[in-house]
Amino acid sequence: MIPELGHYALVLALFVALVQSGVPLVGAATGNAAWMGVARPAAIAQMLLVLVAYGALTWAHVVSDFSVTNVVANSHSLKPMLYKVSGVWGNHEGSMMLWIVMLTAFGAAVAVFGRNLPPSLKARVIAVQGMIGVGFLLFILATSNPFIRVFPAPLDGNDLNPLLQDPGLAFHPPFLYAGYVGFSIAFSFAVAALIEGRVDPAWARWVRPWTLAAWSTLTAGIALGSWWAYYELGWGGWWYWDPVENASFMPWLAGTALLHSAIVVEKRDALKTWTILLAIITFSLSLMGTFLVRSGILTSVHAFAVDPARGVFILVLLAIATGGSLLLYSVRAPSLKAGGLFAPISREGSLVLNNLLLSTATATVFIGTLYPLFLDVLKLGKVSVGAPFFNATFVPVAIPMVIAMVVGPFLAWKRGDLPGALTRLWSAAVATVVCVAIAAYITNGGGPLLALVGIALAAWAFFGSLAEFAERIRLFRVPVKDSWNRAAHLPRSAWGMTIAHACLGISIAGMTATSAWQSEVIQAMKPGETAIVGSYSVSFDSIGEVQGQNFRAEQGVFTVTRNGAHIATLTPQRRSYPVTRMTTTEAAIHTTWLSDVYVALGDPTQNGTAWTVRLYHHPMVPWIWLGALGMMMGGLVSLSDRRFRVGAPERRRAASKPAMQPAE
């Protein structure tokens, strides 16, 4: 009964979406206020209907209703409740439901919170959202219906892939999808602006909060995925340049560029056509990611079950959405009026440089990911493009980008003073040199040159961001109380920028350190033996069997000591899930927040008397995800800036001193 309700709700949502796509659009073109007014209730209704459908599907999973095919294929009565709930999005059909939940939620949010938007723009934005909704609802109902029943209902299900039964993976998709799908708003705004034929600073200010929200959640989503891979896959890798990882990274790169170029539109009314293009491209990359993961044309460890029929449908969606918007762009963009002028060395100039480098990075990842396909289609042979390629081409672009990221905020709008800016960064430069020296000293020579470059970059990003903040509050140049006052009155977006940029430095430090200075020991150990990894001593105490809710595991007990002092007792497991007949490794990690000691239990060897044990020391690896978390917080802090909630740009009040740099 309830799955049927969910099914009906989904179909109703489709009809609402159809109305939402057409009526407000016609209303905006004809100036009919009533028709434009349909947008708000339609968007809210669509979201509610989709939530009902999603709720129905979740209910079916939670009560283990095995008459629903989706539940049979992906669940089991013994599966822990957390995974019954999160398993809803752990398969193709359910994840598409999550997609549409996010899409309609964002659409409804614009309807409810976009009170200050001009009616015609609002109507058009919501209409475009509706069109995307129509596409995906059709896709779900036609090819990926989660409510299909099976008769007779089997006694139990096939269980969820054990790799997905993990807290990290429980939270990774919602954040990821909120990010991916959140960029649809920027897309809708861009298309609406093209239809209107007008892009002004107000548009940029309206777009920014949605883009920030999407960017922040995508950052968290990618970081969660990386962290999960690190502790689950058994050897401490955190990024593989796998096509599906790249599919999430490309929208992130483009979204970062969008975030920054929108600032120029808002402050200086320039770079309009470029920003519109970026908004279209960012969401198109999200769509392309959805396509790549589900179509089977690329090999990936992440790929969902392959079904060419679904692939064709998404390709058609992609063609209509991206092709249509780019066509509109080619027709309308030339007539958008150009905006303010600026010198190459200026705040705008540095943001242009940021965009140039980020776009190149996006294009690089794009080329590398799709090259095997392009070559194969042209029948020019088969090549593999793996991590070595991306490391060689991405890093050279990232280095100048991070350097410029620190200098840019010091430059004034319209015409900046580069020597002056660099002079004010002397403290950051000194700190960078000190950090590199410390790193080289600790590691006795520092290892590869690129590792020290990485540390330099991280320090530059971190201390440079702090230097800029100190400059803004005139630290050490006015009494501390005044600096404190300035800091308290700085707009939140300034805080957000400083936090995000500084935390990027923290992440870079983590990435560099763990890549360059990791220690690894792989050996067969018998209970009672001890191994040394890094400066830690790990002794294998015992091994036994434990029983979990839906698995059996071999569990080893290891004691970690350092210079004789007890650090931790670790219990890595090798789990067997009887229903899916799969085994997973659950590594045991002790984190000091400065580094990780990582122990993974392998196969028994030497006729069962010994076990292959992998021991790792990962220096500064937690900083990767702490930095990413910080970047997300920075984004959210910026998002909470009051100016965004008010909506329209406010005239600057007399409180702001003219001598101060324009706040972000």
Partner 1 sequence: MRRLIFLLPLLLFVGVGVAFFLGFERDPRDIPSALIDKPVPDFALPALAGHKEGLSSPMLKGDVTLVNVFASWCIPCKAEHPVITRLSKELGVTVRGINYKDKTEDAVDWLRRNGDPYASVGADLDGRVSIDWGVYGVPETYLVDRQGRIRFKQVGPLTPQVVEEQLLPMIKHLRAAS
Partner 2 sequence: MKALLLAAFLALTPIAAQAVQPDEVLPDPALEGRAREISKDLRCLVCQNQSIDDSNAPLARDLRVLVRERLTAGDSNDQVVHYVTDRYGDYVLLRPPFKATTLFLWIGPFVILAIGAIGTALYLRGRKGAAVAAGGDTAPLTEDERRRLDALLRKEDA
The binding site for partner 1 (CB under 8 A) comprises: 273, 277, 280-281, 284, 291, 295-299, 308, 311-312, 315, 318-319, 322-323, 326-327, 329-330, 333-334, 370, 372-374, 376-377, 381-382
**420 contributes a contact to partner 2 by CB under 8 A:** no
At a CB cut-off of 8 Å and minimum separation 6, what does 152 contact?
none
How near is the Cβ of 366 to partner 1 at its closest, in Å? 9
Identify what 147 binds: partner 2, partner 1, none; CB under 5 to 8 Å per kind.
none
Structure tokens that stand for 590 in this block: 């002790």
Please identify, using beta-carbon distances, which residue of 276 and 502 lies nearer to partner 1. Answer: 276
Element (H, E) at 332: helix 324-332
Identify what 451 binds: partner 2, partner 1, none; CB under 5 to 8 Å per kind.
partner 2
**539 contributes a contact to partner 2 by CB under 8 A:** no
Identify what 522 binds: partner 1, partner 2, none; CB under 5 to 8 Å per kind.
partner 2
Identify what 359 binds: partner 2, partner 1, none; CB under 5 to 8 Å per kind.
partner 2
Nearest alpha carbon to residue 299 among 173, 384, 176:
384
- Write out the binding residues for partner 2, residues 294-313 only, by CB under 8 A: 299-301, 303
Structure tokens that stand for 532 in this block: 């040394």
CA trace torsion 69, 302, 631, 387 (10° rounding): 180
Please identify, using beta-carbon distances, which residue of 382 and 651 lies nearer to partner 1. Answer: 382
Q: What binding mask, one character per residue, do residues 516-535 give for partner 2 by CB under 8 A, x or -?
A: x-x-x-xxx-----------
How near is the Cβ of 375 to partner 1 at its closest, in Å? 10
DSSP secondary structure string for all residues of 361-386: HHHHHHHHHHHHHHHHHTTS------
**233 contributes a contact to partner 2 by CB under 8 A:** yes
Amino acid at 157: G
Are the C-beta atoms of 122 and 110 separated by less than 8 Å? yes
**447 contributes a contact to partner 2 by CB under 8 A:** yes
Identify what 297 binds: partner 2, partner 1, none; CB under 5 to 8 Å per kind.
partner 1
Please identify, using beta-carbon distances, which residue of 65 and 245 lies nearer to partner 2. Answer: 245
Please identify, using beta-carbon distances, which residue of 123 and 314 lies nearer to partner 1. Answer: 314
How near is the Cβ of 158 to partner 2 at its closest, in Å? 21
Please identify, using beta-carbon distances, which residue of 2 and 353 lies nearer to partner 2. Answer: 353
What is the spatial distance between Cα 635 and Cα 215, in angstroms, rounded to a whole number?
8
Identify what 48 binds: partner 2, partner 1, none; CB under 5 to 8 Å per kind.
none
Please identify, using beta-carbon distances, which residue of 299 and 549 lies nearer to partner 2. Answer: 299
Please identify, using beta-carbon distances, which residue of 97 and 358 lies nearer to partner 1. Answer: 358
How near is the Cβ of 383 to partner 1 at its closest, in Å? 11
Q: In what order do the strands lie in the sheet with 610-619?
A: 519-525, 610-619, 595-605, 588-591
**243 contributes a contact to partner 2 by CB under 8 A:** yes
What is the spatial distance between Cα 281 and Cα 194, in angstroms, rounded to a whole number?
14
What is the spatial distance between Cα 560 and Cα 569, in angstroms, rounded to a whole number?
6
How near is the Cβ of 241 to partner 1 at its closest, in Å? 16
Please identify, using beta-carbon distances, which residue of 153 and 356 lies nearer to partner 2. Answer: 356
618 dihedral zone (left: phi>0; alpha: psi -120 to 50; beta): beta
- Write out the binding residues for partner 2, residues 389-418 only, by CB under 8 A: 389, 391-393, 395, 397, 414-415
What is the spatial distance between Cα 89 and Cα 74, in angstroms, rounded to a whole number?
10
Cα–Cα separations (whole angstroms), residue 249 to 160, 218, 245, 257: 26, 9, 6, 12
Phi, psi of 37 (to 5 degrees): -65, -15
DSSP secondary structure string for all residues of 30-95: HT-HHHHHTHHHHHHHHHHHHHHHHHHHHHHHHTT-TTBHHHHHH--TTS-HHHHHHGGGSSHHHH
**565 contributes a contact to partner 2 by CB under 8 A:** no
Identify what 306 binds: partner 1, partner 2, none; CB under 5 to 8 Å per kind.
none
Identify what 281 binds: partner 1, partner 2, none; CB under 5 to 8 Å per kind.
partner 1
At a CB cut-off of 8 Å and minimum separation 6, what does 375 contact?
381, 382, 383
- Write out the binding residues for partner 2, residues 325-354 only, by CB under 8 A: 338, 341, 343-344, 349, 352
**658 contributes a contact to partner 2 by CB under 8 A:** yes
For residue 321, give the DSSP letter. Answer: I
Structure tokens that stand for 478 in this block: 């006015």
Nearest alpha carbon to residue 347 among 421, 416, 446, 438:
416
How near is the Cβ of 413 to partner 1 at its closest, in Å? 26
How near is the Cβ of 230 to partner 1 at its closest, in Å? 27
Phi, psi of 121 (to 5 degrees): -65, -45
Element (H, E) at 451: helix 449-472
**15 contributes a contact to partner 2 by CB under 8 A:** no
What is the spatial distance between Cα 97 and Cα 87, in angstroms, rounded to a whole number?
12
How near is the Cβ of 406 to partner 2 at its closest, in Å? 20
User: Which residue from 175, 240, 495, 577 is in contact with partner 2, where contact means CB under 8 A?
Assistant: 240
**605 contributes a contact to partner 2 by CB under 8 A:** yes
**578 contributes a contact to partner 2 by CB under 8 A:** no
Identify what 82 binds: partner 1, partner 2, none; CB under 5 to 8 Å per kind.
none
Angle at 211 between CA 206 and CA 217, to 5 degrees: 140
Identify what 392 binds: partner 1, partner 2, none; CB under 5 to 8 Å per kind.
partner 2
How near is the Cβ of 250 to partner 2 at its closest, in Å? 14
DSSP secondary structure string for all residues of 542-582: EEEEEE-SS-EEEEEEEEEEETTEEEEEE--EEEEETTTTE
Please identify, using beta-carbon distances, which residue of 131 and 170 lies nearer to partner 1. Answer: 131
Name the one range near partner 2 by CB under 8 A: 37-45, 109-117, 143-151, 360-368.
360-368
Residues belonging to the chain: 664
Name the one range near partner 2 by CB under 8 A: 22-30, 229-237, 487-495, 543-551.
229-237
**384 contributes a contact to partner 2 by CB under 8 A:** yes
**247 contributes a contact to partner 2 by CB under 8 A:** no
- Write out the binding residues for partner 2, residues 63-92 only, by CB under 8 A: none
Cα–Cα separations (whole angstroms), residue 349 to 275, 362, 497, 545, 605: 15, 20, 18, 62, 61
Element (H, E) at 642: helix 642-646
**369 contributes a contact to partner 2 by CB under 8 A:** no
What is the spatial distance between Cα 49 and Cα 37, in angstroms, rounded to a whole number?
19
How near is the Cβ of 349 to partner 2 at its closest, in Å? 8
